[in-house]
Amino acid sequence: MKYSRLLFVGGGMLASVFAAFSAKKSDKPNIVFILCDDMGYGDLGCYGQKYIETPNIDRMASEGMRFTQAYSGSPVSAPSRACIMTGQHTGHGEVRGNKEYWRDSGEVRYGVNTDYAIVGQHPYDPNRVILPEIMKENGYTTGMFGKWAGGYEGSVSTPDKRGVDEFFGYICQFQAHLYYPNFLNRYSSRLGDTATIRVTLEENIKYPMYGDGYKKRPQYSADLIHQCALQWIDQQTGEQPFYGLLTYTLPHAELAQPNDSILKMYKQRFFTDKTWGGDEGSRYNPAVHTHAEFAAMITRLDIYVGEILEKLREKGLDENTIVIFSSDNGPHEEGGADPGFFGRDGCLKGLKRSCHEGGIRVPFIVRWPGHVPVAVNDHQLAFYDILPTFCDLIGVNHIERYGENRKDYFDGLSFKSTLLGKDKHQKNHKFLYWEFCETDQIAVRQGDWKLFIEKGKCHLYNLADDIHEDCDLAAQYPDRVEDMKRIVFEQHVENPYFKVTMPQ
């Protein structure tokens, strides 16, 4: 199979050998965390996907550790990412939903298009440390490329105020519904920016945001963001450790991308395809080949991952760089996406916005040559474990240094021992916890037991025998339900912006 872009990258280069000896390397590991958007547990070949080509990510899994019971922080984007940033679950954190700030902000013009004067979501609490700040304080240069979703423009929480040295992408996840937007956001300490700014995409704004003229827009945001991420990695010498958070928007709707050889291949493969009429209010343009568009978006993302891995090899940084790949939540059916066609839930119940397994169980792969063994691991982890794990890997006691003696400051546990193949030394969670106000759901996982609460009503499942959560055992095990309900009441802290119904 031939593509116009390199599909499978690998192999050493003379340049990487030269780079390995050209500069003194830092003793601390570099970390690159690739977080994609709305990819389901079963969307990759290494997790059982049969229709979509993902050779680079599959190879990454074959060279590292693939987790089978990894969970996002939430079934939607902003709060899930907040769990990564803060190390808190959604019963404690400030951000627990996709609260928007652009609706009443006024409007501005971009060429023939009207857009919002302020864009973005609810800000992270400025009094709580977040992951880029920790990494920067401990000697790392920090870059973030993709979606921010941690505060609206001009708020107390934008990349320039939260420990990010270089940012390029979307401040606002609603803006990210368009792959050919009017503008993207940038903060670059290297270029002398004093705040996060807008970068107008001059070639895009010549054409309308919706309708027949939209596909004439030439500046595709996913490619622009990826190229900036690659350039940033290329600037790293290894003398100073680096932390890159690459929050790609693929494969989130809208279903739109260049009509290149990747997309054309899938159009031929899915000759009989579905169409979708669009939703202008949600910023989703119509899609003519929904299955082909979606599959091509995942393959395009796979190519990005391959190029990142190759860049690290080329720079001689491969062996001292931890690369992690995951998704922010389960699969979506927005913008014409059809998760049922691809079997995208990996035999799990529920989609994005659901606290059933399909909405929160995600692919999670870690590669660190010579350190992380090749394995498939069933350790139960959640996104709020990432912050303490990164701190552990770089030699920082996050509780002593940043905890401020607050019991609820960090909910996560480091899974460094698991990563290094020392499972016997791994401390396990007594439970995992989620709540999500927009669908009024709460979930607790304790061992193989899963308590799912919707609008106050409790349902109990045993995931060991019932991975699809079909058989409600609440009536048979009332004591178990009561024990797990007590966890909910202990873990939930009231938040004025994000309300859920507590269990009956």
- State residue 391's pLDDT score: 97
pLDDT of 9 above 50: no
User: Which of 412, 430, 448 is where one domain is finished?
Assistant: 430
pLDDT tens for 221-242 read: 999 999 999 999 999 999 999 9
Both tokens assigned to 480: 């178990």
Say yes or no: 444 and 425 in one domain.
no
Across the range 301-318, mean pLDDT stands at: 98
94 within a domain of the structure (yes/no)? yes
Say yes or no: 382 and 475 in one domain.
no
- State residue 345's pLDDT score: 61
3-state secondary structure 401-434: HHCCCCCCCCCCCCCHHHHCCCHHHCCCCCCEEE
Confidence of residue 406 (pLDDT cuts 50, 70, 90): low
Handedness of CA 60, 63, 68, 70 (dihedral sign): negative
User: Which of 377, 404, 430 is where one domain is finished?
Assistant: 430
Both tokens assigned to 284: 């989703």
Across the range 367-386, mean pLDDT stands at: 98
- State residue 344's pLDDT score: 63
* All residues at 6 or more sequence positions from 116 whose CB lies less than 8 Å from its CB, including other chains: 102, 105, 106, 107, 108
- State residue 43's pLDDT score: 96
- State residue 407's pLDDT score: 58
pLDDT tens for 42-100 read: 999 999 999 999 999 999 999 999 999 999 999 999 999 999 999 999 999 999 999 99
Q: How many domains does the chain have?
A: 2
114 and 183 in contact (C-beta within 8 Å)? no
Rounded distance between C-alpha atoms, residue 417 and residue 425, angstroms:
6
Which residue, chain included where needed, has tokens 């229709």? 51
Confidence of residue 381 (pLDDT cuts 50, 70, 90): very high
pLDDT of 11 above 70: no
pLDDT tens for 170-209 read: 999 999 999 999 999 999 999 999 999 999 999 999 999 9
Across the range 139-161, mean pLDDT stands at: 98
Percent of residues, the chain, with pLDDT higher than 90: 89
Q: Which domain holds residue 469?
A: 440-504
Say yes or no: 347 and 475 in one domain.
no
Confidence of residue 313 (pLDDT cuts 50, 70, 90): very high
User: Which of 410, 430, 450 is where one domain is finished?
Assistant: 430
4 within a domain of the structure (yes/no)? no
What's phi and psi for 444, nearest 5 deg? -130, 130
Both tokens assigned to 9: 């990258």
CATH, residue 488: 3.30.1120.10
- State residue 477's pLDDT score: 98
Q: DSSP for 132-186?
A: HHHHHHTT-EEEEEEE--SS-TTSS--GGGTT-SEEEEES-TTGGG-SS-SEEEE
pLDDT of 291 above 90: yes
pLDDT tens for 423-474 read: 999 999 999 999 999 999 999 999 999 999 999 999 999 999 999 999 999 9
Confidence of residue 22 (pLDDT cuts 50, 70, 90): very low
Report residue 497 CA to chain centroid gap.
Answer: 23
Say yes or no: 324 and 282 in one domain.
yes
As a whole number, the mean pLDDT across the chain is 93
- State residue 26's pLDDT score: 83
Both tokens assigned to 110: 């971009």
360 within a domain of the structure (yes/no)? yes
Rounded distance between C-alpha atoms, residue 283 and residue 175, angstroms:
8
